[in-house]
Structure 1
Amino acid sequence: MNIRKLIFLAVAALTLSPFITAPLALLLGLVLAQTMEHPYPQSSQKATHLLLKISVIGLGFGMNIYSAITAGKEGLLFTLASILIVLATGYFVGRKLKIDFKTTSLISAGTAICGGSAIAALSPVMKANQQQISVALGTVFILNSAALFLFPAVGHWLNLSQNQFGLWCAISIHDTSSVVGAASKYGEQALHVATTVKLSRALWIIPVSFGATYLFKTNKTKVQAPYFIALFVLAVLANTYFPFLTGYSHYLVSLAKSGLSLTLFLIGSGLSFKTLKGVGSKPLVLGTTLWALISVFSLYAIMVVL
């Protein structure tokens, strides 16, 4: 085993420590990405998707179904409005910037719904090529990384409540990993609200995928549903209705948070300068415009309504 692999594995193991927060784990990954070549690029991508799903399911053991339903209802209108606004704005801004329609659609859906998961689900439906997928993923991952550091700072600056901040994270941050990472830094209630609303938002992958099937005339392509959300709901139900789990839920949630930190480290380790350069300026302008729009719009609405 060479020195690169040893360093990578050692830092990855370090992120499992309870002393390493989600933003710090991401930062460690970003530092490694700029200082050495990734020793496990393919394995890291596969592990990221699996770890995120397992971690989200684990967080369900720290939640109550009644508070989850309340949070989901509260975020429904905000979610629907934000998705429609982002998809419509993305179409017009993409045309103005002369970005190809598939790349525009992937970036818009990634911003509107749930980042990399939406891009992964929609790309086979619209038959996007590898370049289009890479540009879209690179764009949302760059902005995700920024959000993980910026959102808690803005939340404290504006003195947002736990409920307000959790809802804002769920609507405005792309990927579930960064949503949970930012919310967990803010507080437990913010984490519960953010996770619940974000996962209900992720379910919009299904109708949007069917719409893309019609739009891109690919009716033979199978739509990928986010089945792990059902397991998250089962975990929440189990924690609510099976009292004997209460003594173990703390450990399961702690393991889930450690898994999330490792997930963010793996995401950061894949964002090298080469990756950033490959995104290009126009897609980044599109992604940043949409992200800024939904962040400001949702923050204003949440502060007025809640």
Structure 2
Amino acid sequence: MTLAFVIAAVATVFGKVFPVIGGPVTGIVTGVVVATVFKPGPRFKPGIKTGSKFLLQVSVVILGTQLSLMQVVRVGVDSLPVMLGTLAVCLVSAYLIGRCLGIVGDLRTLIGVGTGICGASAIAAVTPVIGAAEVAVTYAVSTVFLFNIAAVLTFPMIGHALGMSEHAFGLFAGTAVNDMSSVVAASTTFGPTAANYAVVVKLTRTLLIIPICLGLAALVSRRARHCERVVDGAAEAADPASRIRIHRLVPWFLVGFLVLAAANTAGLVPAASHHALAEVSVFLITVALSAVGLSTDLPGLRRTGPRPLILGAALWVIVTLSSIGLMAVTGVR
């Protein structure tokens, strides 16, 4: 794990200098390069495994300190239809387009939630739930990052061309850009009011990680149970005692995320500590993604081909257009 921490420290410094790129993306790319040039030996494997899984989960828990549950109410009625609508369109499109392109389920799921919710943070939360392979995580993070950059460069121009107010652009950026650093970069360019509102919308979107992870956990559990029944030759209906229990589906880190979000809502998390906790969370995500990069099979990534990139591009366009369309339908200007 020491190697992942060293890479993450360097990546964090680089991310401060180039905030549009950010530490997490720098970490995973650096990890892939190091793994290609200097393949880590067996003694590195346990630390890399711990970093890529456990620290990823801890980082999601700490993210809860950045969210007040009351913010969901404060974003207003006008934001929720756009927020939920773009997510629904993104996930459905990821499934349909991903299947048409022949992309395996885990990879299209990661690209879908990364584009629809909050980039690397959503990918971090979903990865342990579905048991995604490191190569899928690497490709998903890289794909989502590429279109973050595209959003930062093009969204302010789109907003001005459509005559959006700062409030409207804040909603647009908060729902159609997935990474927080990119949301801030794009909305700050448009104006301070846009930036403040975009951050609130973006933080509220983070809550959507919870129902998505619960749904995916239920789906994974159902498939596993089905496979067991097929293997055992049990064609009869499942025993009621073996039915899915919600409390067994909830990953521990999502419980921790909710607990800290509730504590922050109640004022138990000092406001002065918010920035430091956000930095800790981002650093742990960077460590975890650095570990993912170190365990990535680059030849396997090459074999995946350009199809995931095509899926990412399609989803980026679809989310952008659906956000603008839903804003027009709900009268946000």
Normalising by structure 2, we get a TM-score of: 0.64
CA distance in 1, matches of 2:154, 2:15: 27
Q: Deviations over 1:22-43 (max 9, x none)?
A: 7342464256335423775324
Q: 1:141: Cα distance to partner?
A: 0.9
CA distance in 2, matches of 1:99, 1:154: 28
Aligned 8 A contact 2:167 2:197 in 1? yes
Q: 1:144: Cα distance to partner?
A: 2.8
Equivalent residue for 1:25, pick from 23, 31, 41: 23
Q: 1:258: Cα distance to partner?
A: 1.6
Partner of residue 153, structure 2: 153
Aligned 8 A contact 1:72 1:197 in 2? no
Equivalent residue for 2:321, pick from 280, 296, 300: 296
* Alignment gaps of 5+ in structure 1: 125-129
Are residues 74 and 50 of structure 1, via their aligned partners in 2, closer, same or farther at CA, if it must alter by over 3 Å?
farther
Q: 1:233: Cα distance to partner?
A: 3.2
Q: Deviations over 1:21-75 (max 9, x none)?
A: 4734246425633542377532432323312421x22323xx583x441327444
Are residues 301 and 262 of structure 1, via their aligned partners in 2, closer, same or farther at CA, if it must alter by over 3 Å?
same
CA RMSD between the two structures: 4.1
Equivalent residue for 2:202, pick from 183, 187, 194: 194
* Alignment gaps of 5+ in structure 2: 189-194, 227-242
Q: Counterparts of 1:251-270 in structure 2 under 5 Å?
A: 251-263=272-284, 265-266=286-287, 269=290, 270=292
Are residues 265 and 74 of structure 1, via their aligned partners in 2, closer, same or farther at CA, if it must alter by over 3 Å?
same
Q: How many pairs does the alignment contain?
A: 281
CA distance in 1, matches of 2:15, 2:222: 43
Aligned 8 A contact 1:110 1:119 in 2? no
Aligned 8 A contact 1:16 1:262 in 2? no
Partner of residue 127, structure 1: none
CA distance in 2, matches of 1:95, 1:9: 34
Residue 57 of structure 1 pairs with residue 64 of structure 2: yes
SS of the residue corresponding to residue 234 of structure 1 reads helix
Aligned 8 A contact 1:163 1:189 in 2? yes
Moved more, 77-86 or 33-42: 33-42
Q: 1:230: Cα distance to partner?
A: 1.9
Aligned 8 A contact 1:89 1:290 in 2? yes
Larger Rg: 2
Normalising by structure 1, we get a TM-score of: 0.69
Aligned 8 A contact 2:90 2:112 in 1? yes
Q: Name the aligned partner's letter for residue 42 of structure 1.
A: K
CA distance in 2, matches of 1:285, 1:7: 33
Equivalent residue for 2:100, pick from 96, 102, 121: 96
Q: Name the aligned partner's letter for residue 81 of structure 1.
A: G
